[in-house]
Structure 1
């Protein structure tokens, strides 16, 4: 898998998680811990995207 396709996949997962977090926050019966875990996953993806993006511009 090339770096650009890997970055695109990470961005797709980040967007999907973002939508899931928004939907979960609108639902009255959502578990707060579940939302927090999704936000952590989203942050990890964002950090990985930033790390790979900055590394890609150095080469």
Structure 2
């Protein structure tokens, strides 16, 4: 059974994570930054692993 996608705040220290995300993009060109984002999405999607949950995420992001 697939659970519902959690769209509520769920990241401890969200500002700290945002700072880390920005730092990961430092010095990257736009194409490099886009490629980094794509790799990050795939890593996180693999971690989630639930296809139905990922479909919910695609709809929520659209």
> Smaller-chain TM-score range?
0.3 to 0.5
| Higher RCO (CA-CA < 8 Å; seq separation 6+) | 2
Compute the TM-score of the two structures, normalised by the length of structure 1.
Answer: 0.37
